[in-house]
Amino acid sequence: MEKLYTRVCNFYYGKQSSYLVKKKKSFPLNGNKQISFDQIEILSRKSKKKIYINDINNLPNFVKKKVKKDLKIILKKKKNFSNLNFQKIPNIMGVLNLTPDSFSDGGRYNKKNLGYKHAIELKKYGADIIDVGGESTRPGSKSITEKKEWNRINQTLKKIGKKMNISVDTRKSVIMKKSIDLGINLINDVSGLNFDKNSIKVLKKTKIPFVIQHSKDIPELMQKNPKYKNVLLDIYDFFEHKIDYVKKNGIKHNKIVIDPGIGFGKTLKHNMRLLSNISIFHSLGFPILLGVSRKSFIKEISGNNDTKERLGGTISSSIFALMQGVQILRIHNVKEVIQGLKVFTKFLKD
């Protein structure tokens, strides 16, 4: 029998959402009446069909059973972890690159006290968690030694201490362990636990919450003609297999975030397919993290209108993600994006 997937869609937000949930005309995402949906799309690798939630009982029995199983996961309220509130949509992860070569802000904060000062700014502007990275994983970048990576982030992490909610962006188990020993709150592995075979052992032993990101191949190779049979469903299956892998390796908690990895081994067409259908990942039952900030797809769409920071494209993508129920946005321009989200949601609340 062909595998089926359930994507919730046609979302409502704020006052209208609460009203529709009360009237039982929409379903609340993760039990949150502030964001709800009244349609689902049932997909396979050969077909797709969109229906209203009121028509679910008219589906064939095997389809209805699958959809109801997925909806149970989608409607369930998420437990908070890493000092993040998953009833708040979205949480903002501020980016702090302590590298000389990251794609948009390399070299800006890796000198003297600049990293710590920027972390303070990101928190002040409203970031819920700060993602600290010491190794660039942009397309074409090469891996650096553990020593070099740790030297870039060590002092900043120690200075931050317990003052902020911190995620560490690393592929290496040694860096994970040292960061966890300093009391950080989340591990963000862009390789999806594929880079370092010892990472799973560290995560199991420490019980730290972590992000699994999809990335096709290593950074040196990932943008060299990436191909998928079906990018959306291939990546969905990747997460299913990866969650199964971590459970079989003794990780019993569900403090896991999934990130489809926009720009990591994807063409513009792949990125747009993922973004426009991002709500399919809600049926996996884990918070979704999305990194759209300053990404190259914005340049490819805007063409001659592109600017270095790509702020306009970042804000518009963030608003779209908000309306798909994405729980965490990874952002460079925290102050400006939060301003944009506040103004947009004000219209929906009044």
Q: How confident is the model at residue 138 (pLDDT cuts 50, 70, 90)?
A: confident
Average pLDDT across the chain, whole number: 93
Structurally, the chain folds into a number of domains equal to 2
Annotated active-site residue in 7, 177, 295, 310:
295
| Mean pLDDT, rounded, for 165-189 | 97
State the pLDDT at residue 100. 76
pLDDT at residue number 304: 81
Host domain of residue 60: 5-75
Residues 95 and 55 in one domain: no
Tell me the per-residue pLDDT of 173-183, one tens digit each, with 9 for 90 and over.
999 999 999 99
Give me the pLDDT at residue 106, please. Answer: 44
The answer to whether the Cα torsion of 54, 57, 60, 61 is positive or negative is positive
Residue 81 in domain: no
Same domain for 95 and 71: no
Q: What is the mean pLDDT of residues 123-130?
A: 97
Q: What local confidence, expressed as pLDDT, does residue 292 receive? A: 96
* Position 119 pLDDT exceeds 90: yes
289 and 230 within one domain: yes
Pick the last residue of a domain from 75, 108, 126.
Answer: 75
- Domain-embedded: residue 83: no
Domain annotation covers residue 82: no
Question: Residues of the chain with pLDDT > 90: what percent?
Answer: 85
The answer to whether residue 85 sits within a structural domain is: no
Which among 75, 100, 134 is the end of a domain? Answer: 75
- Tokens 């650096």 belong to 144
Residues 36 and 173 in one domain: no
Q: What is the pLDDT at residue 115?
A: 86
Question: 60-79: per-residue pLDDT in tens?
Answer: 999 999 999 999 999 999 99
User: Tens digit of pLDDT for each residue in 36-62?
Assistant: 999 999 999 999 999 999 999 999 999
- Unique residue bearing structure tokens 């939060």: 338
The predicted pLDDT at position 111 comes to 57
Q: How far apart are CA 66 and CA 274, in angstroms?
A: 22
Tell me the CATH number at 122.
3.20.20.20
Instruction: Please name the residue that has the structure tokens 């995560």.
Output: 203
* Average pLDDT rounded to a whole number, residues 87-108: 77
Question: H/E element holding 347?
Answer: helix 334-349
295 carries an active-site annotation: yes
What pLDDT was estimated at residue 80? Answer: 98
Residue 108 pLDDT greater than 70, yes or no: no
Per the listing, tokens 């560490």 go with 168
In this prediction, residue 72 carries a pLDDT of 98
Measured CA to CA, the distance from residue 172 to residue 65 in angstroms comes to 41
**pLDDT at residue 278 is higher than 80:** yes
Pairing mode, if any, of strands 91-97 and 328-331? parallel
Same domain, 151 and 286: yes
Boundary of a domain, candidates 48, 75, 102 = 75
268 and 178 inside one domain: yes
CA distance 178 to 165: 16
**Across residues 11-27, what is the average pLDDT?**
96
User: How high is the pLDDT of residue 349?
Assistant: 72
* Residue 86 counted as domain residue: no
Q: Specify the pLDDT at position 79.
A: 96
Residues 189 and 325 in one domain: yes
Same domain? For 42 and 107 the reply is no
Q: Is residue 322 part of a domain?
A: yes
Backbone phi, psi, residue 202, to 5°: -65, -45
Please provide the DSSP assignment of 316-333 as one string.
HHHHHHHTTT--EEEES-
pTM for the model stands at 0.94
Same domain, residue pair 185 and 263? yes
* The pLDDT value given to residue 104: 55
Q: Choose the catalytic residue: 78, 123, 138, 330.
A: 330
Instruction: Provide the pLDDT for residue 224.
Output: 83
In a domain, residue 297? The reply is: yes
Same domain assignment for residues 11 and 58: yes
Q: 263 and 193 in one domain?
A: yes
pLDDT in tens, 211-270: 999 998 777 776 888 999 999 999 999 999 999 999 999 999 999 999 999 999 999 999
Residue bearing tokens 């959306």? 232
Helices (H), 77-198: 114-125, 146-160, 173-181
Q: Do 153 and 231 fall within a single domain?
A: yes
266: Cα within 13 Å, side-chain hemisphere: 25
Q: Which of the four pLDDT bands, split at 50, 70 and 90, describes residue 107?
A: very low
* Strand residue runs (E) in 170-325: 186-189, 210-213, 256-259, 289-290
Q: Strand, helix or coil at 69? A: helix
- Phi, psi of 321, deg, nearest 5: -65, -40
Res 110: pLDDT: 53
Whether the per-residue pLDDT at 142 is higher than 70: the answer is yes
- Judge whether 124 lies within some domain: yes
Tell me the one-letter amino acid at 306.
D
Confidence bin at 112 (pLDDT 50/70/90) = low
